[in-house]
Structure 1
Amino acid sequence: MENKEYIASGILELYVYGLLSEAENIEIANKAKNDPELQAEIIAIEQSIVALSSSFSPFNSIGNYEKIKNSLGFKKESEVIELEPRRSLSPYIGWAAAVLLLVGIGYQYTQLNVATNQVVNAEAEKEKIEKELNALTLENKAIESSLAVIRDTNNTVVALGGQAVAPESFAKIYWNKETQKVYVDASGLPEPPKGMVYQVWSLKLNPLTPTSIGLLDNFVANNQRIFAVEATPDAEAFGITLEPAGGSLSPTMEQLYTLGKV
Structure 2
Amino acid sequence: MDTNAYIESGILELYVAGTLSEQENEEIYALLQKHPELLQEVLNIESAVVKLTAATSQKSNEHIYNIIKKRLGFDTDETLVVSLNKPKYNWITYSGWAASLILGAGLLWTLSQNRQLQTDIQVAETQQSLLETQIENSKNNLEEANTLITVLRDDNISKIPLAGQGDFSNTYAKVYWDKNTNRIFLDAQGLPEPPEGKVYQIWSLTLSPLTPTSLGTIDNFTSDANKIFEIENRNNSEAFGITLEPAGGSKTPTMEMLYTLGVVSAS
Which residue number in structure 1 is paired with residue 96 of structure 2?
98
| CA pair 174-134 structure 1, distance change in 2 beyond 3 A | farther
1:213 to 204, 212, 215: 215
Q: 1:129 offset after TM fit, Å?
A: 1.6
| CA pair 158-144 structure 1, distance change in 2 beyond 3 A | farther
Contact 2:243–2:259 at 8 Å: present in 1 too? yes
Q: 1:95 offset after TM fit, Å?
A: 5.0
Q: 1:128 offset after TM fit, Å?
A: 2.2
Which residue number in structure 1 is paired with residue 116 of structure 2?
118
| CA pair 87-139 structure 1, distance change in 2 beyond 3 A | same
Mapping for residues 138-153 of structure 1, pairs under 5 Å: 139-152=137-150, 153=153
TM-score, normalised relative to structure 2: 0.53
TM-score, normalised relative to structure 1: 0.54
Q: 1:176 offset after TM fit, Å?
A: 1.2
Which residue number in structure 2 is paired with residue 189 of structure 1?
191
Contact 2:204–2:235 at 8 Å: present in 1 too? no
Q: 1:218 offset after TM fit, Å?
A: 4.0
Pair 1:136 & 2:138 matched:
no
One-letter amino acid of the structure 2 residue matched with residue 202 of structure 1: S
Which residue number in structure 1 is paired with residue 249 of structure 2?
247
The 3-state SS of whatever aligns with 1:165 is helix
| CA pair 237-145 structure 1, distance change in 2 beyond 3 A | farther
Q: 1:99 offset after TM fit, Å?
A: 4.2
| CA pair 143-206 structure 1, distance change in 2 beyond 3 A | same
Q: 1:120 offset after TM fit, Å?
A: 2.0
Which residue number in structure 1 is paired with residue 80 of structure 2?
none
Mapping for residues 1-262 of structure 1, pairs under 5 Å: 87-88=87-88, 91=90, 93-133=91-131, 135-137=133-135, 139-152=137-150, 153-154=153-154, 155-205=157-207, 208-232=210-234, 234-262=236-264
Q: Which runs of 5+ in 2 are unaligned?
A: 1-83
Cα shift readout 1:108-154 (whole Å, capped 9, x = no counterpart): 11221122112221232034224423542553354235313421233
Runs of 4+ in 1 over 6 A off after TM superposition: none
Q: Matched residues, percent identical?
A: 37
One-letter amino acid of the structure 2 residue matched with residue 126 of structure 1: A
| CA pair 141-257 structure 1, distance change in 2 beyond 3 A | farther
The size of the alignment, in residue pairs, is: 177
Q: 1:257 offset after TM fit, Å?
A: 0.8
- Give the RMSD, CA atoms, in angstroms: 3.2
Q: Which runs of 5+ in 1 are unaligned?
A: 1-83
Bigger Cα Rg: 1
CA distance in 1, matches of 2:189, 2:122: 35
One-letter amino acid of the structure 2 residue matched with residue 210 of structure 1: P
Contact 1:181–1:231 at 8 Å: present in 2 too? yes
Cα shift readout 1:174-205 (whole Å, capped 9, x = no counterpart): 32132221122334323333443322122345
